[in-house]
Amino acid sequence: MSPTSRSTGDLSGDTTAIQVPTVRSWAQLLSALSAGCLFGFGLAFSTMIRPAVVLGFLRGQDFGLMLVLGGAVLVTFIGYRIVPRLLHKPIIGGAFAEHSAVMDRDTLAGAAIFGLGWGISGVCPGPAIAGLGAGSWELGYAVAGIAMGALLQGLTAPRKA
Binding to other proteins (CB under 8 A): which residues in 2-31?
Answer: 2-3, 5, 18, 20, 25, 27-31
User: Binding residue for other proteins (CB under 8 A) from 11, 12, 14, 114?
Assistant: 114
> What is the chain's Cα-based Rg?
19
Q: Give the x-and-dash track for 139-158 against other proteins (CB under 8 A).
A: x-xxxxxxxxxxxxxxx-x-
| Nearest-approach distance from CB 26 to other proteins, in angstroms | 10
Measured from the CB atom, the residue of 4 and 11 that comes closer to other proteins is 4
Give least dist CB 87 to other proteins, A.
7
- Shortest Å distance, C-beta 86 to other proteins: 8
Amino acid at 12: S
- How does DSSP assign 27-64, residue by residue? HHHHHHHHHHHHHHHHHHHTTTT-HHHHHHHHTTS-TH
Dist CA 1 CA 5 (whole Å): 12
153 three-class SS: helix
Q: What distances in angstroms separate CA 84 from CA 89, 91, 113, 116, 148, one per listed residue?
A: 7, 11, 35, 37, 37
Positions 56 through 95 that interact with other proteins (CB under 8 A): 58-65, 67-80, 83, 87, 89-92, 94-95
Cβ proximity to other proteins, 11 vs 116, nearer residue = 116
Q: Determine if 50 is a binding residue for other proteins (CB under 8 A).
A: yes
Query: Among residues 11 and 45, whose Cβ is nearest to other proteins?
Result: 45
Distance separating alpha carbons of residues 33 and 38, to the nearest angstrom: 9
